[in-house]
Structure 1
Amino acid sequence: MVPDDGKATLVGRIWRPGIGPAVVRLDGDAVVDITSRELPTMQALLEADDPAAAAREAGGDTVCTLAELTACSTEDAGADDLRLLAPPDLQAIKAAGVTFAESMVERVIEEQAAGDADRAEAIRARVKSVIGDSLSGIEPGSDQAMQVKAVLQEEGLWSQYLEVGIGPDAEVFTKCQPMASVGSGAAVGLHPVSSWNNPEPEVVLAVNSRGVVVGATLGNDVNLRDVEGRSALLLGKAKDNNASCALGPFLRLFDEGFGMEDVRRAELTMRVEGQDGFVLEGHSSMTKISRDPAQIVAQTIGAHHQYPDGFFLFLGTMFAPVKDRGAPGQGFTHKGGDVVTISEPSLGALSNIVRLSTECPEWVFGTAALMRNLAQRGLL
C-alpha cells in the first residue's frame, strides 16, 4: 500500500470513531494523528512554507498500525468506523484530460462512435490508419501540431479531443466537489445509465493556494465512455457521480528525496480483477505525457483563476483499455465487484471495488459538516 523506499514523508486523512476526520502522518507502521489547532485540516498543512517539515515536526498520538488501518478500510466500513479517507479535504478536485497521445486517439474514437461500443472497433481501425502514432512527441500548440491539425481536418477527423490534446489550451475540468472523493479500500461508483466505462489510473498533484506543487498521490478518474462519447457537454455526468473519484492511499509530500522530477518519471500499473475471472492489466508512463505537469498547473491557477484552499490535480492517463471482455470488438467495460488496484513504486497502491453509484454510501459529510466537527473539537 505504501512506497517501498522507506524514505517517504507520507500524510493522509482517516476517520476516527467517535471523533471524526483526522490528519495523520505515517511513521513506519504507525499511523499518528497530527491534527491540532495549527493543523486542523490537510489544507492547513499544505499551506505551510514547508509542508514536509511541518508534518515531520508535528506532535501527535499513535492511533493504530498501518496493517490495522488497511484491514478496516473496506466497503463494509460503517460511517463511524476507523478507515482511510481521501487525502484532500477543503481543496478543489480538478483533472486534466487528453494529456497522452495514446488515450487521445481513444477519445476521438469515443466521439466518432457516439458512445456506441459496437461501432468502436471499425472506427478505431480507420482513425489509426490516419493518425497512427504520429501524435506521439508533438508539443501541444507548436507549429508541428498545427500542421497535424490541418491534415486531420482534411481527413474529416478533427475533434474537440484533438483540439485540447495538441492545441495550445489544456482541458482542465472539475472532477468532483471538495470532500466528495473516497479513499483506498472504499467502493467507487458508476452511474447506472452507463454500459461502457473504465478506470483511469493517474498521478494526482497537490497544489497550494500559491500555485506551488507540494506533493503527489494516486487517483482513479472513473470514466463513463459511452456518456462522454455521446457529447462532450455530458462530461460532468461522465465524471462526477457519487463515489466516482478515488484518491490515495496517502499523499507523498515533496522533500529532499522526492519531487517533480520523480513525478515526471512515474510508472503506473493497474490491475482489474473481476469476479468473473477476467483480469485486465495496464500501464501508464508519465514520460509519455504530452504536456509537462508544471504547464498544466500553470494553466489551472494564476492571475486568471485563484484557489484559496488549493487543489488536487489529476494529470491524465495514457491508459485506454481495448481488451475485449464480452463480445468481440466491444472492448472493456466494468462489472460490479471488479477490484481496481493502481500502483506506483514511489506512491504506493490505491485499491477500490467497483459498484454502482447508487449502491455506494451516500455522500453526507461535506464542508459544512467538517467545519461543525472541527469547531466542536475546539480546533477552529
Structure 2
Amino acid sequence: MRYYRVATHGGPRIIVRTTDTAYDLTSVKDDLTSFLDLIRAANITDSDIDEVADRLVAKADEVDVDALDADVTIPVAPSEIWAAGVTYEISEEAREAESAMPDIYREVYHSERPEIFFKATPNRTVGPGEAVGIRGDSDWDVPEPELGVVLYRGDIVGYTIGNDMSSRSIEGENPLYLPQAKIYDRCCSIGPCVTSTAGLDDPHDLEMSMTISRDGEQVFEGSTTTANMAQTCEDLVSYYNRHNAVPELAVLLTGTAIVPDASFTLQADDHVSIDLEAIGTLENDVTVV
C-alpha cells in the first residue's frame, strides 16, 4: 500500500492508495493525521501498518485518485534524515572526479563499513511541489535521486523517494566540508508517499529515473536500478543503528547512481522530477538559498 499525507482546510489527512482506489483514513479516525500515528497504532496492536489500514478502509471515504497529487504534502515528518554515500559505482567515480583526495572514496566503496552521514532536520526538508535549494556560495550543484528507507525505532517500515541536494564544488574542495555541502536550507526533499514494506517486493530491484527541465526544455535525463547498489538497505540500516540513539521516526537515504556530468549545474527555477518504481514521482522546483 502507498500512504500519502494531504493538506486540507480542516487539517492534514492520511490517505492510503490500493492500486486504483484511494481512501481517507482520517475520515474513520479523526486523530489519525500522520504516518507516525499509523505506525504507533500498528505497534500498539502488534500488527503492521497495512493491517491497520485494511481494518479502516471498509469504513473510510473514497478519495479521487486523479485529484490526489494536487494536494499531497510531505508524507512523513522524520526527526532526522540521514544518508549513505558511495553506494553505487558511478557515485564513487563521480566523488573521485570532483575531489582532490580521490582515494578515500575508492576505499569506502570497497569497504564493509559504508559512509553514513547526517543529512537534514525537519525544518530543512521539503515535500512534493516545494522548492529545493542550492547554496548561494556554490557554483556546482546537483540533485541526487535516492531510495529512502523509512525507519520506526530503527526498523524498516516503508520506503519513499529522496532528493539529497548537494554542492559538488564545496565537497570537492575538501572532504571535511561535506556537512556544508549537504546540510543547509531546503537541502532535502522526500515524497510523494511511503510505500509499505509489504507493498514493495524487492527494494533492490527498482527502476529509477530523473529528468531536469529548464525553461520548459529537458536538460538532463538519467536512469538506473537499485540492483546496482553495492550494499543492501538492511546493511546500511544496521550501520545507522550501531551505537546510535536513533529517533522514533527517521529516514535513511541509500545513495545515488544518477549523476549529471561535470559540465552540468542546477540553476534557479529548474524543475527536478524523480520517478521510482513502486513508489511514484517526486517533483520539485529549484531556488537559491
TM beyond 0.5: yes
Tell me, yes or no, if structure 1 residue 24 matches structure 2 residue 15: yes
How far apart are the structure 1 equivalents of 2:38 and 2:103? 41
How far does residue 201 in structure 1 lie from its aligned partner after superposition? 0.9
How many residues were matched structurally?
281
Tell me, yes or no, if structure 1 residue 42 matches structure 2 residue 42: no
Of Structure 1 and Structure 2, the greater strand share is in: 2
Alignment of structure 1 residues 36-185 onto 2, 5 Å:
36=29, 39-47=32-40, 48=42, 49-58=47-56, 62=61, 65-71=64-70, 83-112=71-100, 159-178=103-122, 180-185=124-129
Tell me, yes or no, if structure 1 residue 212 matches structure 2 residue 152: no
Given the superposition, is the C-alpha separation of residues 90 and 319 from structure 1 closer, same or farther in structure 2, using an over 3 Å criterion? closer
How far does residue 158 in structure 1 lie from its aligned partner after superposition? 5.2
For the aligned residues, what is the CA RMSD? 2.3
Check the 8 A contact 1:90/1:179 in 2, yes or no: no
Out of 256, 262, 265, the residue aligned to residue 317 of structure 1 is 256
Corresponding residue for residue 250 of structure 1: 193
How far apart are the structure 1 equivalents of 2:170 and 2:53? 41
Check the 8 A contact 1:25/1:31 in 2, yes or no: yes
How far does residue 33 in structure 1 lie from its aligned partner after superposition? 4.4
Given the superposition, is the C-alpha separation of residues 65 and 180 from structure 1 closer, same or farther in structure 2, using an over 3 Å criterion? farther
Corresponding residue for residue 115 of structure 1: none
Check the 8 A contact 1:29/1:67 in 2, yes or no: no
Given the superposition, is the C-alpha separation of residues 299 and 38 from structure 1 closer, same or farther in structure 2, using an over 3 Å criterion? farther
| Cα shift readout 1:273-307 (whole Å, capped 9, x = no counterpart) | 111735211112211111111100100114x1132
Tell me, yes or no, if structure 1 residue 275 matches structure 2 residue 266: no
Check the 8 A contact 2:13/2:32 in 1, yes or no: no
How far apart are the structure 1 equivalents of 2:246 and 2:14? 21
Identity of aligned residues (%): 28
Partner secondary structure for residue 284 of structure 1: strand
> What amino acid maps onto 2:225 in structure 1?
S
- What TM-score, normalized to structure 1? 0.68
Corresponding residue for residue 274 of structure 2: 342
Please, which runs of 5 or more residues in structure 1 have no aligned partner?
1-8, 72-82, 113-156, 323-329, 358-380
| Cα shift readout 1:211-270 (whole Å, capped 9, x = no counterpart) | 321211111111111111112222222122222211111111122x524xx211011011
Partner secondary structure for residue 238 of structure 2: helix
Partner secondary structure for residue 93 of structure 2: helix
Check the 8 A contact 1:12/1:25 in 2, yes or no: yes
> What amino acid maps onto 1:225 in structure 2?
R
Determine which structure has more spread, i.e. the larger CA radius of gyration: 1
> What amino acid maps onto 2:5 in structure 1?
R
- What TM-score, normalized to structure 2? 0.88
Partner secondary structure for residue 263 of structure 1: coil
